[in-house]
Amino acid sequence: MGIRPIIKMGNPILRMNAEVVRPEDVHSLISVIPDMITTMREAKGVGLAAPQIGISLRVIIFEIPSSRATSVKGDQPCGIQVLINPKIDPLTSEKELGWEGCLSIPELRGEVPRYTRINYTGLDAEGSPVKSYATGFHARVVQHEVDHLNGILYPERMVDLARLGYIDEFAEAQETQTLKNDITRDGNDNG
């Protein structure tokens, strides 16, 4: 299991439609999938698509940590999930805005609309069929990773590019706003 370099926005592989993995070729991913897992965990990500490590195949991995899951049905924590040739079926037209980052666009975050509830299908690492339901953060991660297989990066999904920025700038702005709120609250309490 090795750590592979994560390619960044600007690399043409990230703009391509990834190739379908034939069921008889699933076994050929035996070294790719462990490398994807190691790479994702080393980068402290929650998902990774094969194109992000320069392999234009329809393979994604993800894991939903308990710190991000809501425990609503479909958004529970889960360990590593492998999806080969994933397909998404939105169960509603309702979308929700949420903050996203991407290992291929380091240090930036953007607010992206995503379907709130989806079914997804594909094959697991052994080539067996997978069918699952997801909502909340879980649904967001699956949609984000499948976008990579279709040559789409999250800024293209954004409705307001003013909501795209560097993580440290957002943190500083949040801290400043919290301080202003504290001062305002304290001023109102005294008077």
Q: Which domains does the chain have, with CATH numbers?
A: 12-159 (3.90.45.10)
Residue 186: pLDDT band (50, 70, 90) is low
Residues 99-111: tens digit of each pLDDT: 999 999 999 999 9
Average pLDDT, the chain: 92
The pLDDT of residue 174: 66
Q: How far is CA 28 from CA 11, 56, 96, in A?
A: 25, 14, 37
If residue 142 lies in a helix (H) or strand (E), which one and from where to where?
Answer: helix 136-149
Rounded mean pLDDT of 38-43? 97
Q: Are 112 and 145 in contact (CB under 8 A)?
A: no
* 187 — pLDDT class (breaks 50, 70, 90): low
Q: Between 11 and 187, where is the model more confident?
A: 11
Rounded Cα distance, 111 and 165, in Å: 10
> In the annotation, is 145 catalytic?
yes
> What CA–CA distance (Å, rounded) separates 81 from 138?
11
Catalytic residue among 96, 111, 145, 175, which? 145
Distance between alpha carbon 133 and the CA centroid of its chain, in Å? 16
Q: What pLDDT, in 10s, does the model give residues 74-131?
A: 898 899 999 999 999 999 999 999 999 999 999 999 999 999 999 999 999 999 999 9
Q: Of the candidates 152, 165, 130, which has an alpha carbon nearest to the alpha carbon of residue 15?
A: 152
Rounded Cα distance, 139 and 129, in Å: 19
Output the pLDDT for position 1. Answer: 73
β-strands 78-90, 59-64: how paired?
antiparallel
Residues 6+ apart with CB under 8 A from 18: 49, 50, 51, 56, 57, 58, 59, 148, 149, 150, 151
pLDDT recorded at residue 146? 99
First CA to last CA distance, the chain: 63
Separation of alpha carbons 133 and 74, rounded Å: 6
Mean pLDDT computed over 35-50: 98
What average pLDDT does range 42-71 have in this prediction?
Answer: 95
